[in-house]
Structure 1
Amino acid sequence: MLSRNLQEVIARIEKARIAYSRHHIVKIVAISKYHQVEEIRELYECGQRTFGENKVQDLKAKSEDLENLPLEWHFVGTLQSNKINALLCSPVSLIHSIHSLSIALELEKRLEREKKTLKALLQVNSANEQSKSGFSPNEALEKYIEILEKCPHLKLCGLMSIGAHSEQRSLVQKSFEITQRLFEELKPKGAEILSMGMSGDFEQAIACGSNLVRIGSLLFQKGRFL
């Protein structure tokens, strides 16, 4: 069943990708936060290699249980300063959610002390919703450049945002377009990754230039086809 789910998602991504540009490449992060290591292993056997967790303790525990597999782990949740040490002890490859200057500076301090680097994305609250973390669109460019200058061990390489929480596709579209415009402005600063789109809106996000989609329920659901 998970194999069929993955193939269906890939087919939908391919259609959206080609409609945007045949040269566009889109990577899938399987969001495994509600799922057990057996399901992650099953999806790995179907060909999926990158997984995302939103709790540091879950990322650490699951990566340890699956350390024999060549998986790439992403942290997609809101990071608290008291969880930084635990995160840096895990095999995290990319953190999607740098949501404040203070958390960036805390990470930089620990990374410098441990002589490590970590790739990261700046989170943009493109819909200006109080329920979401991240920088407002008006401050995102300035803060991105400030973090680049002040945090050399935290390797900013793009943006992440969550589409507007709305049934109106036009509002979701607007939130993605705002982040895309910011991303284009940051390309000269080395921005390469635009993480937008989840199970309910990833095709719309790809149409706005997303090259990293975060898919959870569509990949792990059982008992029905997409």
Structure 2
Amino acid sequence: MDKKTATKNLDDVITKVEGARLRISEHHIVKIIGISKYSSIEDIKILYEAGQRAFGENKVQDLKTKSEELKDLPIEWHFVGTLQKNKINNLIDLNPTLIHSLDSLDLAIELNKKLEIKNKKLSALLQINSADEETKSGVSPKVAIETYKQIIEQCPNILLKGVMSIGAHTEDEKIIKESFKTTKKIYDELVPLGAKYCSMGMSSDFELAIACGSNMIRVGSTLFKD
């Protein structure tokens, strides 16, 4: 990918985000996370130069490799993949800006334990399986608010910043919209508890997600296409 393509890709995404955002309110700000899991270090660098600042990886090892290679750039790194317990220490050492995929109270307790040992704190989002799909991680919408409160009470070293979900895996826009609305409703109830981010929407559905209230999107293929 060359600089010209990267700039065009980013401009296209920003234009769509602006359109979707302004339909809600001019005060509605949307943060774009560039999902770089299939992309080279060179491509990340080019996109950074084009103006993209936040990037997300879904494997701890890839996050380590890429963040070390690009340590001269003040990139904001996010971890968006499923977190295995045996990788927790490695992830803590990388100090990501935000973990998007805290998908159970059990995982939160384990993460908190290791954070306490290292005397560190990390920001995270609670992942909600809003479409109730067996193939997806995340807590059930029915217990999401209760789980969020339990993490706040039991895991002082985790700074919960909101929620994340993946839209329903279907072509039916109505069902996708319902899954986003479910997450947004939960997010609204958690705002008094300090929730800042409602992370929903990927390359295929981010405009719909923003229409449903998302203020953080995770875009990969659209940003990194040649």
| Residue type of the alignment partner of 2:190 | L
Aligned to 1:36: 40
Aligned to 1:16: 20
Paired residues, what number? 222
The answer as to 2:96 corresponding to 1:92 is: yes
The answer as to 2:199 corresponding to 1:191 is: no
C-alpha distance in 1, partners of 2:95/2:118?
Answer: 14
Q: Deviations over 1:114-134 (max 9, x none)?
A: 111100000000000000000
The answer as to 2:169 corresponding to 1:165 is: yes
Aligned to 1:150: 154
Q: Deviations over 1:126-154 (max 9, x none)?
A: 00000000000001010000000000110
The answer as to 2:127 corresponding to 1:123 is: yes
Identity of aligned residues (%): 57
C-alpha distance in 1, partners of 2:204/2:70?
Answer: 28
Q: 2:76 aligns with which of 68, 72, 76?
A: 72
| Residue type of the alignment partner of 1:174 | E
Please say if residues 63 and 91 of structure 1, whose CA atoms lie closer than 8 Å, have aligned partners that are also in contact: no
Q: Cα offset for 1:91?
A: 3.3
C-alpha distance in 1, partners of 2:121/2:94?
Answer: 13
Residue 96 of structure 1 aligns to a residue whose secondary structure is strand
Unaligned runs of 5+ residues in structure 1 are: none
Unaligned runs of 5+ residues in structure 2 are: none
Root mean square deviation, CA, Å? 0.5
Residue 77 of structure 1 aligns to a residue whose secondary structure is coil
Aligned to 1:214: 218
Q: Cα offset for 1:101?
A: 1.1
| Residue type of the alignment partner of 1:14 | E
Normalised by the size of structure 1, how large is the TM-score? 0.97
Q: Deviations over 1:143-178 (max 9, x none)?
A: 000000000110011000000001000000000000
The answer as to 2:79 corresponding to 1:111 is: no
